[in-house]
Amino acid sequence: MYDLIIIGAGPAGLTAGIYAKRANLKVAVVESGPPGGQLVSTGHVENYPGFFKIAGADLGIEMFNQGLNLGVKYYFNEVKEIKDGRIKEVVLLDQTLKTKTIIIATGAIPRKLGLPNEEKLSGKNISWCAVCDGPLYQGKDVVVVGGGNSAVEEASYLAGIVNKITIIQNLDTLTADQIAIDNLLKHDNVKIYYESLVTAFLLKEDESFLGVEIEIKKSEKQIIEADGVFEYVGLKPSTTNFKNLAILNEYGYIKTNDKMETTLRGVYAAGDVREKQIRQVVTAANDGAIAALSALRYIETWK
C-alpha cells in the first residue's frame, strides 16, 4: 500500500515525487518512457531558475536522480487503468498497485497535421524532436512547422546543423517569446512563410520524400523541397486511459482547482495534462509541488 502513486515522470511528476518523499510519504512514480517527459526532446532550457542554460534531457535526469536519492520508487511500466475508491488501484501491464492518493502527471504529446503520407513518413522524414533527429540532417534542408516557443527554439537549434530551414507559420507573426525570436533571426539560413499552411507531404516516384506543398494566404500554392520536416503544432493530453474517471474536459485535459484537486477525492493532476493556460517546465514543477502537498493534507485526514 502506497500513500501516493504519481503517474508520469515529467517535471510535474518528478517534482511531486521529491516533495512527497521529503514529507516522508511512501511514494512511487510510474512512467512508460524515459524520465523527463517533454524535456527529453528539448534541446536547451534557458528559462528554468537556477540554470543559465541546460540541456532538457540533463535537467530531467537531475530531477529524476534527486528523487532516486531520496528513495522514491520508480516503476517503468504502462498504466492501463485507474480504479477509484477509498483505496485506489493503479493497474499496470503486469501488476496492480494500491494507494491512498494518486497524482496524474502524464503530460501531453505533440499533435500531428493529419495529412496523407504523414504516418508513412513519421520517424523517417517527419520528426517531433530536433535534439533526437537534427544531426541526421547535417548540411541538408528542413522544414519547421509552427511559430510558438517549441518551433522557434528548435529551429534555432537546427540552424546550427542544417543547410537551410524554412518555417511555415499559419499566423502573421511568430508567437514565441521575443528573446527566442531574436535568437532565431540571428541565423541567415532561415526563411519564414507567414499566414501559410502545409497542405501536403510530397513523395517522389520512388516513394522517397520530396518535400511539402504549402498554401500562402489562402491563395498561392508552392512546393518546398526538403529532406525532412519537424512539426510543432501544439499538444494533446495523454489521458486516453483515464476517460472512465469522468474528470476530463471536452479537449481531454483534466479539470482541477488551484489545489490540483480533481472532482474525485484523493485524485490530483499536475503539469501539461491539466486544464491550464501556460505550459512550461517551471509551471509543471509548480503544479507538482502543490499536488504533492495537497495529497499530504488529504492523507493526514485518512483513517
Catalytic residue among 84, 132, 141, 177: 132
Report the alpha-carbon distance of residue 274 to residue 106 in Å, rounded: 9
Task: Name the pLDDT band for 168 (thresholds 50, 70, 90).
Answer: very high
Q: Cell digits for 142? A: 528542413
Report the alpha-carbon distance of residue 173 to residue 155 in Å, rounded: 15
Terminal-residue alpha carbon distance, the chain: 14
Catalytic residue among 3, 133, 227, 272: 133
Q: Regarding beta strands 141-145 and 73-76, do their DSSP bridges make them parallel or antiparallel, or are they unpaired?
A: unpaired
pLDDT per residue over 70-119, tens digit each? 999 999 999 999 999 999 999 999 999 999 999 999 999 888 999 999 99
Catalytic residue among 58, 84, 129, 141: 129
Task: Name the pLDDT band for 192 (thresholds 50, 70, 90).
Answer: very high
141 assigned to active site: no
Of 18, 36, 35, the residue nearest 27 (C-alpha) = 18
Domains 2-109+235-300 and 112-231 share a fold: yes
Span 221-246, mean pLDDT? 93
DSSP string, 228-294: EEEE---EEE--GGGGGGS-B-TTSPBP--TT-B-SSTTEEE-GGGBS-S---HHHHHHHHHHHHHH
Enter the CATH code of domain 2-109+235-300.
3.50.50.60
Task: Name the pLDDT band for 11 (thresholds 50, 70, 90).
Answer: very high
pLDDT per residue over 59-69, tens digit each? 999 999 999 99
Span 264-287, mean pLDDT? 94
∠ CA 176-178-183 to the nearest 5 degrees?
95
Q: Is 113 exposed, middle or buried (0-12, 13-18, 19+ CB in 10 A)?
A: middle
188 assigned to active site: no
94 assigned to active site: no
Q: Output the average pLDDT for the chain.
A: 94
Report the alpha-carbon distance of residue 17 to residue 229 in Å, rounded: 36
Task: Name the pLDDT band for 169 (thresholds 50, 70, 90).
Answer: very high
Domain boundaries defined on the chain: 2-109+235-300, 112-231
Query: Are 114 and 201 in contact, with CB atoms under 8 Å apart?
Result: no
Q: What is the pLDDT of residue 235?
A: 85
Enter the CATH code of domain 112-231.
3.50.50.60
